[in-house]
Amino acid sequence: MNNVLRTQQPLTNDQLRQIAPSVFATQPWHQMSEKYAFIPTIDVVEKMRAEGFEPVEVQQSRTRIAGKGDFTKHLVRFRQGDQPAIRSLGQVYPELLLTNSHDGASAFKLHSGLFRLVCTNGMVVADGLVNHVNVRHTGDPGDVIDVAYEVVEQFPKVLESVEKFQALRLTAPQENAFATAALQLRYDEGEAPITPAQVVTRRRTADMEPTLWNAFNSAQENLVQGGTRYRSENGRRSRTRAVSGISENTRLNKALWTLAEEMHRLAQ
């Protein structure tokens, strides 16, 4: 499991360091090539703050390799300080996701994302809608800031897609097809412990309308956050596990978004 901290108020450096010491690395892992241009993540965080982007979530991958813990992959989610919630979507905030590592496992990468306050969903928008951007390790933290604004400029496209998802009402067979495909994104064939119906089970009354947006949110919450009850083959009661790894969490989120886009294209 990964360390993760999410707050509604901007995170302090002490909070960031407590969860993700790799953000504060002052040099790369010793096995990195001399050609590797090191950029301390904290330098980027400070530049993002100066531009009005505040960190609200931080996460770091763990490792079993001795001495590598301060250099592993980490994720920081930023929200613009003056960016209000999109209340028509149910307290949804546009955010920027920055991933990086100092062990060669990940380049600086920025994604657009959405955060739904009511259920603490951390949605990530698929590459097909808003391209994620890799930032070369040139040694200049300012390069990341330029890319951040490129991603921010694409937020209106994200919100247009959400509005389309909201407007599309699914029939029962369509919702079942969406849930069946979503389940296959999370589990290998024959290994899913839950049913498609459980994938789109609503956890709150506000999501009961049979829209694509509500089906997507329910699938995202049930598959990514876990906690869905089921019985194992031996009859034991259990709950599905959350997807805690940074890479797998991002992959699944983006795949679900792509699935929603395809469902909208086919069903409209």
Highest mean pLDDT among 35-39, 126-130, 238-242: 238-242
In this prediction, residue 120 carries a pLDDT of 65
**Would you say 4 and 118 are in contact if contact means Cβ atoms under 8 Å apart?**
no
Q: Which two tokens stand for residue 88?
A: 């028509």
pLDDT digits over 141-179, tens only?
677 777 788 888 888 888 888 889 999 999 999 999 999
Q: Which residues contact 113 (CB under 8 A, 6 or more apart)?
A: 77, 94, 95, 96, 97, 122, 123, 124, 125, 253
Separation of alpha carbons 23 and 209, rounded Å: 41
Residue 181 CB-half CA count within 13 A: 16
Using pLDDT thresholds of 50, 70 and 90, give the confidence band for residue 35.
Answer: low
Q: What is the pLDDT of residue 12?
A: 96
Mean pLDDT of 191-204: 94
d(Cα 230, Cα 227) in Å, to the nearest integer? 9
In this prediction, residue 168 carries a pLDDT of 96
- Lowest mean pLDDT of 26-30, 107-111, 216-220, name the range: 26-30
Map out the domains of the chain as residue ranges: 3-163, 168-267
Where does the chain have alpha helices with state H? 13-19, 41-50, 142-152, 155-167, 172-186, 196-199, 212-220, 246-267
What token pair was written down for 9? 């108020």
- Mean residue pLDDT of the chain comes to 84
pLDDT surpassing 80 at residue 262: yes
13 has a pLDDT exceeding 60: yes
Whether residue 110 is predicted with pLDDT greater than 60 in this model: the reply is yes
User: Could you please report the per-residue DSSP string of 81-127?
Assistant: TT---BGGGSSEEEEEEEEE-SSSS--EEEEEEEEEGGGTEEEE--T
Q: What is the DSSP letter of 169?
A: B
Residue closest to 246 by CA, chosen among 111, 70, 135: 111
Report pLDDT for 1.
43
